[in-house]
Amino acid sequence: MNGNEWAVEMEDLVKMFGTFVAVDHVSMQVGKGEIFGFLGPNGAGKSTTIRMLCGLLTPTSGRAHVSGLDVATQPEEIRRNIGYMSQKFSLYDDLTVEENIDFFTGIYGVPKAQRAPRKQYVLEMANLTERRRSLTRTLSGGWKQRLALGCAILHDPPVLFLDEPTSGVDPIARRAFWGLIHDLSETGHTIFVSTHYMDEAEYCHRLALMYRGKVIALGTPEELKNGLTSHSLLNLESSDPLETMRALEGLAGVLDVAVFGGGLHVTVDDPASTSVRVRQSLAAKGIEVRRLEQIQPSMEDVFVAMIETEERSAA
């Protein structure tokens, strides 16, 4: 694959800390202008992968390219072509909004002619024009996070790495933040973003699901949901959820039962025939079925199902 066609490319990327394999032979590609979501539980190896792509960690083996530049041999060039937002808030609290912007403008070497317009753009994007002289310490979480994003894109990098940018931010600020990410993607920027909020996965063009250092699923949100084609999901509401669970256990065609809100999510292989059997079995036990319908699995269902499959195959 030619490096110019992909914004980010990984081939058998491995990172070991002592004997612990943090990233285990990861191979994937991210296209230009894509919003690429990186999902997985804490400790799955998402941050380690992102840090390798930013040149902050040296891969143990394998290769990775960002904007066609080799992570191992061209870290200097990569740093000029990426923006990075680490998990921890990483601006200077004791500097004002403007001073933070000026500092990053300086170290990214933004050309003189572009300095004023870029600063203006970032202030407007983060909605901080009126608070430009406030100490960063006094800003709330959502503002800080937008300022951090602004400082990471001052040099207009083609590729952006965001490591759990929305952790600890309220839902309204999170939505506004994803709006900014979309705008950036529309102007041709590639965004590589990790998160553990399932609802945010739906905002991404494509997703990779990482678990214990491995990528266990890769595709668009639709593909991942339809990836469970051998199984279907039924939403079941009954008069006695606890008894219902017992009744369904071991019933032919039922693969898994999980409590979900006030009802149950039942994973089955054939929805039509199993539905009939479920109704019969529950009627025999005197449990009233209030609702039984096939539903589209949510990202969370997909996520849990895939990790369970992975664990079963590992055991």
Partner 1 sequence: MSYRRLRAVFIKELHHITRDARSLAMALAMPVMMLLLYGYALSLDVDRIPTLIYDQDGTAASRELVRQFQGSRFFDIRGLVNSYAPIQNGIDRNQILMGVVIPRDYSKNAGAGREAPVQILLDGSDSNTASIVLGYAESVVRSYSLQLRQDMQNRRGGERGGAPVDARLRVWYNSSLESKNYVVPGLIAVILQIIAALLTSLTIAREWEMGTMEQLLSTPLRPAEMVLGKMLAYFAVGVADALMAVLVGVFVFTVPLRGSWLLLGVSICVFLVGVLFWGIFVSAVAKTQLAAYQMGILSSFLPAFLLSGFVYSIETMPPVIQVITHIVPSRYVVTILKGIFLKGVGLTVLWGELGFLTLYAAIIFALATRKVNQKLA
List binders of partner 1 among 64-83 (CB under 8 A).
76, 79-80, 82
Q: Provide the minimum distance between the beta carbon of 84 and partner 1 in the complex, in angstroms, as a whole number.
A: 4
User: Contact region for partner 1 (CB under 8 A) — 24-32, 90-98, 240-248, 299-307?
Assistant: 90-98
The residue (of 77 and 199) whose beta carbon lies closer to partner 1 is 77
Phi, psi of 209 (to 5 degrees): -105, 120
Task: Using alpha carbons, select from 304, 260, 253, 269 the residue that is nearest to residue 41.
Answer: 304
Report, in Å, the least distance between residue 261 CB and partner 1. 37
Largest Cα separation within the chain, whole Å, is 79
Which of 26, 28, 65, 86 binds partner 1 (CB under 8 A)? It is 86
> CA–CA distance from 179 to each of 125, 128, 183, 282, 303 (Å)?
11, 16, 6, 46, 24
What's the rounded Cα separation, in Å, for the pair 91 and 119? 16
Question: Nearest approach, Cβ of 96 to partner 1 (angstroms)?
Answer: 8
The dihedrals phi and psi of 5, each to the nearest 5 degrees, come to -85, -25
How many residues are there in the chain? 315
Q: Check binding of 121 to partner 1 (CB under 8 A).
A: no
Distance in angstroms (rounded) separating the CA atoms of residues 68 and 243: 58
The DSSP bridge partners found for residue 13 are 26
* Three-class secondary structure of residue 258 per DSSP: strand
Query: Interface with partner 1 includes 57 (CB under 8 A)?
Result: yes
Q: Where in 1-40 is the site for partner 1 (CB under 8 A)?
A: 17
Among 36, 84, 177, 303, the residue binding partner 1 under the rule CB under 8 A is 84
Interatomic CA distance for residues 287 and 221, integer angstroms: 36
Least distance in angstroms from the C-beta of 24 to partner 1:
17
Residue 44 CB, nearest distance to partner 1 (Å)? 17
Q: Tell how far CA 18 is from the center of its chain.
A: 27
| Site for partner 1, residues 93 to 112, rule: CB under 8 A | 93-95, 99, 102-109
> Which of 7, 44, 51, 248 is in the footprint of partner 1 by CB under 8 A?
51
Distance of closest approach, residue 144 Cβ to partner 1, in angstroms: 13
Beta bridge partners of 228: none
Q: Is the alpha carbon torsion for 280, 285, 288, 290 positive or negative?
A: negative
58 lies in the site for partner 1, by CB under 8 A: yes
Name the residue nearer to partner 1 (CB basis): 6 or 84.
84
- Give the whole-angstrom CA distance, residue 100 versus residue 96: 6
Pairing of strands 263-268, 232-238: antiparallel
Kindly state whether residue 46 participates in binding partner 1, applying the rule CB under 8 A. no
Number of residues that bind partner 1 (CB under 8 A): 31
CB of 111 to partner 1, least distance (A): 10
Taking the least distance from each CB to partner 1, the nearer of 64 and 217 is 64
Tokens (6 digits) for 309: 């499959």
CB closer to partner 1, 12 vs 93: 93
**Interior angle at CA 63, CA 216 and CA 310, nearest 5:** 10
State yes or no: residue 92 binds partner 1 (CB under 8 A): yes
| CB closer to partner 1, 143 vs 303 | 143
Of the residues 61, 73, 90, 138, which one makes contact with partner 1 according to CB under 8 A: 90
The answer to whether 14 and 59 have CB atoms below 8 angstroms apart is yes
Is residue 88 at the binding interface for partner 1, with CB under 8 A as the rule?
Answer: yes
Query: Which residues form the interface with partner 1 (CB under 8 A)?
Result: 17, 51, 54-58, 76, 79-80, 82, 84, 86-95, 99, 102-109
